[in-house]
């Protein structure tokens, strides 16, 4: 399941860097949560554990999104500062 957390964090980071759309984060959350819960319950995991992992996946995705958003903002500020500074 570690690969799923890495995938969720990476997806959130890319969404934050490139797209900056909150609606897409909600869609990506659904795309991660529903298959994860189904796969875990089919693998005989307890339902409460599957839901807890789903919440952790959503948190990882959203933290990755916020990190990507902050990196994108920092990059745009640095470009604006470089354009406005006299040489």
Given a cut of 80, whether residue 72 has pLDDT beyond it is yes
Helix (H) or strand (E) holding 21: none
Within a domain: 15? yes
Within a domain: 85? no
Q: What is the pLDDT of residue 76?
A: 72
Task: Please count the structural domains in the chain.
Answer: 1
Within a domain: 7? yes
Return the closest-CA partner of residue 4 out of 72, 50, 70: 50
Within a domain: 26? yes
Within a domain: 87? no
**Chain centroid offset of residue 18 CA:** 12
For residues 81-86, average pLDDT:
65
Within a domain: 61? yes
Could you report the per-residue pLDDT of 15-68, keeping only the tens digit for each? 888 876 788 888 888 888 898 889 999 999 998 999 999 999 999 999 999 999
Within a domain: 81? no
- Residue 12 belongs to domain spanning: 2-73
Within a domain: 80? no
């Amino acid at each position: 399941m570690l690969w799923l957390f890495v995938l969720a964090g990476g997806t959130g980071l890319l969404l934050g860097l490139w797209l900056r759309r909150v609606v897409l984060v909600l869609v990506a959350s659904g795309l991660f949560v529903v298959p994860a819960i189904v796969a875990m319950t089919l693998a005989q995991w307890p339902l409460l554990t599957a839901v807890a992992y789903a919440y952790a996946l959503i948190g990882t995705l959203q933290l990755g999104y916020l990190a990507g958003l902050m990196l994108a903002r920092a990059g745009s500020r640095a470009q604006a500062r470089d354009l406005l500074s006299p040489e």
